[in-house]
Amino acid sequence: MKKFLLSLAAAALLLPAQADEGMWLLPLIKEQRFAEMQALGLKLQDYDIYNPDSSSLKDAVVIFGGGCTGEIVSPEGLVFTNHHCGYGQIQQHSTLKHDYLTEGFWAASRDKELPNPGLTVTFIEKIEDVTDYVLAALAGNNDPDNVDFVSAKYLNELARKRVGEKYLSDHPAIAVEIKDFYGGNQYYMFTKKIYSDVRLVGAPPSSIDKFGADTDNWMWPRHTGDFAIFRVYADANGEPAPYSESNVPLRPKRWFKINIGGVQPNDFAMIMGFPGRTNKYYTSWEVAERRDIDNEIRISMRELRQQAMLEEMLADPAVRIQYASKYASSTNAYKNAIGSNWAIKKHDLEKVKLAEQEKLIAWSKKNCETAYPEALLTLEQIVSDRKDLRFRSWMLDEAIIRSIEFTKVPTKVDTLVEALKGRDKEEQQQQLAQLTTAYEAFADKNYSPVVDRKIAKIMLKEYRRLVPAGKQPAYFSVIDQQFKGNVDSFVDYLFEQSIFGSHDNFNKFLAKPTAKALENDLMLLFAHSVQQENKALTESLKGFDAGYAIAHRTYLKGLLNMYGNRANFPDANRTLRLTYGQVKGYDPRDAVTYAYQTTLDGVMEKEDPDNWEFVVPARLKELYANNDFGRYGLSNGKMPVDFCATTHTTGGNSGSPVMNANGELIGINFDRNWEGVGGDIQYLPDYQRSIIVDVRYVLFVIDKYAGAGYLLEEMELVQ
Ligand code: ARG
Ligand code: GLU
């Protein structure tokens, strides 16, 4: 009995992660989580998911481009991901005549699939625990700054050294990297194979794949069909090769079977993908810092900026198009920050982390460990010491750099100034041509001086109200000295007088270029001063990095020792992870319950032909009116669109395969609910949900809506 109690206690200690919490590393799954997964309903064996010696499901999961996930869905290299992950490529191919963003795109045959220079699809070939190797290298390493143990540059050099330069030059499509886990307490090496001929196969119209746009972003109930289809091409041997007409569709090691049997509440679901960044191991002081500085500044500054932007967008359709993408990316992080602070307050995450720290302190006392409590004191001190710098840096970034576009006017004009002072006409022309290119890149087709002027006035006033005078960029004193502190007349003056204030002004300068005009240009001086201030703040903040990294590593070492080495998952770091949970709705507030699934009915309810975010295409209405859902509809006659699950995901998981208990594809992850974004700090079982497009909606759009059913022939559909 005693022994049984003991092992129960040990098991409890070993399992601090809550049910459904966690982004687990594949090599550790078996040991850490497999029993729980099977208890929840998983029908596979651990080696079906990850097998270091043979192919497994993980071989069908890829990094799509730089920051998303994708999955292989056919033996001929077809890839599913999110539309918002391929947005840039689809935009590249779009013209006024062929507006694939708005109208959608479907390659009618292989030769119509569109190449995308620069786009890659990356497979993970091998994952190895290299902790001993890295620790040995670090021991013999002379690192005065003491940050090599978490330096990507250093760790990647070690990875290259481990396989040898010859191997790498013999295998040009192979890349290796070593990543630090648990703050640098463990290291894994990833061997990757990178395919660079990736072609666009299909994309729905924006009225489906961006339905609800910014209003519905981060929201459940959701009705977006956020997917796009690509294909990986390889050379005749199946090896990665740059784009060539002679390349052939990749014959992958693995592809997902697609299950159109549908999902039910509490069904087991799991997701593999490449989550970008989480902060589970924040201390209570960092939670407060994030809440009071980072999130608070982001929320209040973007509110002002977006309001001004939106006014202009609503007043002028041309501006709406120009600023659509800037507005979308601004609100994306803004809504995330709101959800993050909501969760920090609602669930008192500061207290949650404090309790964890206190537990470690008590445990340390009992075990005569002094290093862990000391590390906590250091972290508290660092957060306190960097407070002022961090506030200034966030204010400068959010209120000025990200808000006022003319902080990006070309400022590298030294050589042009020199040339203008000299006599070499040819050199002058060449330098002027360079400046023209830089100016055109700044004042591109999506830049409106009217909008920039309006926003600059608002943001500069707010910045000056909140940041003490002595702590602003040096040049801002001009506003007081020459403009009697009147920000409006200062900004008006910049736009009227500066070389970069308008195309007219720029052309006037080109007609009669002088060194003096450049040297005294107020907009240029403003931008330069902001850049200098930014550099100085970044440098000063860097001074805290080593101290932080060392204390953070020690704190995590303490947690690992207390809980057992394998009990918790490491923070996300753009490496391949698995999360599992259940298909499930939630109760967002008192007396309100959200279902787990949405249907086309909801699309029709949200329809608003006068609001670009909620336009429904005629063809979709027709299919809806005729109940023409083919084999993809529900037994109650409705057509499923999205569903949500308790899986633990974050940015980077976009495009990830969502699998059922048999490892078959049931959906594509594309978002999270705003009540769940605080899960980047602490998983929120009752609130956090991954938002997933049902694979039946994907197939319905391909087959019924777009008439591209021929694509289904190469997929393996099961029920
Ligand atoms: N919120 C999702 C993510 O973080 C989707 C973003 C793209 N969509 C948008 N409306 N901005 O990536
Ligand atoms: N949309 C996010 C992405 O692009 C995923 C949402 C989240 O943060 O969970 O990765």
Reported as a single tens digit per residue, the pLDDT across 480-504 is 999 999 999 999 999 999 999 999 9
Question: Which residues does 31 contact at the CB level (< 8 Å), separation at least 6?
Answer: 566
Closest listed ligand to the CA of 671: 2
Helices (H) and strands (E) in the chain, counts: 29, 23
- Asked if residue 582 has pLDDT above 50, the reply is yes
What mean pLDDT, rounded, does the chain reach? 95
Q: Specify the pLDDT at position 1.
A: 45
Q: Specify the pLDDT at position 2.
A: 46
Q: How far is residue 659 from each of residues 69, 494, 579, 617, measured CA to CA in Å?
A: 14, 56, 10, 30
Ligand 2, atom 4, lies closest to the CA of 654
- Whether 84 lines ligand 1, by a CB cut-off of 6 Å, is yes
What DSSP letter does each residue of 648-659 carry, written as one string? ---TT-TT-EEE
Q: Which of 719, 386, 403, 361 is nearest to 558 (CA)?
A: 361
Ligand 1, atom 11, lies closest to the CA of 328
d(CA 616, CA 207): 6
- Asked if residue 400 has pLDDT above 50, the reply is yes
- Whether 671 lines ligand 1, by a CB cut-off of 6 Å, is yes
**Residue 423 burial (10 A CB sphere; 0-12, 13-18, 19+):** exposed
- Asked if residue 275 has pLDDT above 70, the reply is yes
Question: Could you tell me the distance, in angstroms and rounded to a whole number, from the CA of residue 104 to the centre of ligand 1?
Answer: 19
- Whether 119 lines ligand 1, by a CB cut-off of 6 Å, is no
- Asked if residue 186 has pLDDT above 50, the reply is yes
Hey, which of 226, 654, 673, 677 would you mutate to test ligand 1's pocket, going by the most ligand atoms within 8 Å of its Cβ? 654
Contact predicate 398/301, CB 8 Å:
yes
Q: Average the pLDDT over 4-16 and give the result.
A: 45
Residue 432 — very low, low, confident or very high, per pLDDT cuts 50/70/90?
A: very high
Closest listed ligand to the CA of 333: 1
Q: What confidence tens digit (pLDDT) does each residue in 187-214 have?
A: 999 999 999 999 999 999 999 999 999 9
Residue 441 — very low, low, confident or very high, per pLDDT cuts 50/70/90?
A: very high
- Asked if residue 609 has pLDDT above 50, the reply is yes
Hey, which of 64, 671, 688, 690 would you mutate to test ligand 2's pocket, going by the most ligand atoms within 8 Å of its Cβ? 671
- Any idea which residues carry the catalytic annotation? 84, 226, 654
Ligand 1, atom 7, lies closest to the CA of 84
Question: Could you tell me the distance, in angstroms and rounded to a whole number, from the CA of residue 4 to the centre of ligand 2?
Answer: 43
Closest listed ligand to the CA of 650: 2
Q: What confidence tens digit (pLDDT) does each residue in 97-138 have?
A: 899 999 999 999 999 999 999 999 999 999 999 999 999 999
Q: Specify the pLDDT at position 7.
A: 46
- Whether 259 lines ligand 1, by a CB cut-off of 6 Å, is no
176: helix, strand or coil: strand
Q: What confidence tens digit (pLDDT) does each residue in 449-478 have?
A: 999 999 999 999 999 999 999 999 999 999
Residue 16 — very low, low, confident or very high, per pLDDT cuts 50/70/90?
A: low
Q: Specify the pLDDT at position 566.
A: 67
Higher pLDDT, 12 or 444: 444
Hey, which of 84, 211, 669 would you mutate to test ligand 1's pocket, going by the most ligand atoms within 8 Å of its Cβ? 84
Contact predicate 415/431, CB 8 Å:
yes
Question: Could you tell me the distance, in angstroms and rounded to a whole number, from the CA of residue 157 to the centre of ligand 1?
Answer: 34
Q: Specify the pLDDT at position 258.
A: 98
Question: Could you tell me the distance, in angstroms and rounded to a whole number, from the CA of residue 274 to the centre of ligand 1?
Answer: 16
- Asked if residue 521 has pLDDT above 80, the reply is yes
List the beta strands (DSSP E) in 278-378.
none
- Whether 466 lines ligand 1, by a CB cut-off of 6 Å, is no
Contact predicate 468/326, CB 8 Å:
no
- Whether 676 lines ligand 1, by a CB cut-off of 6 Å, is no
**Comparing 9-23, 170-184, 594-608, which segment has the lowest mean pLDDT?**
9-23
- Whether 278 lines ligand 2, by a CB cut-off of 6 Å, is no
Higher pLDDT, 145 or 713: 713
- Asked if residue 4 has pLDDT above 60, the reply is no
Long-range contacts of 303-309 (CB under 8 A, 24+ apart): 303/334, 304/458, 304/459, 304/462, 305/330, 305/402, 305/403, 305/455, 305/458, 305/459, 306/330, 306/331, 306/334, 308/451, 308/454, 308/455, 308/458, 309/451, 309/455
Sign of CA dihedral 21, 61, 677, 288: positive
Hey, which of 83, 222, 332 would you mutate to test ligand 1's pocket, going by the most ligand atoms within 8 Å of its Cβ? 332
Phi, psi dihedral angles at 64 (to 5 degrees): -100, 120
Cα first-last separation, the chain: 47
- Whether 671 lines ligand 2, by a CB cut-off of 6 Å, is yes
- Asked if residue 321 has pLDDT above 60, the reply is yes
Ligand 1, atom 5, lies closest to the CA of 671
Question: Could you tell me the distance, in angstroms and rounded to a whole number, from the CA of residue 216 to the centre of ligand 1?
Answer: 10
d(CA 201, CA 86): 11
Q: Specify the pLDDT at position 564.
A: 85
Closest listed ligand to the CA of 222: 1
Question: Could you tell me the distance, in angstroms and rounded to a whole number, from the CA of residue 480 to the centre of ligand 1?
Answer: 41
Q: Specify the pLDDT at position 14.
A: 46
- Whether 221 lines ligand 2, by a CB cut-off of 6 Å, is no
High-pLDDT (> 70) share of the chain, %:
97
Q: Hey, how many other C-beta atoms are within 10 angstroms of the C-beta on 312?
A: 18
d(CA 122, CA 118): 13
Higher pLDDT, 319 or 666: 666
Q: Specify the pLDDT at position 460.
A: 98
- Whether 517 lines ligand 1, by a CB cut-off of 6 Å, is no
Closest listed ligand to the CA of 330: 1
Phi, psi dihedral angles at 587 (to 5 degrees): -105, 100
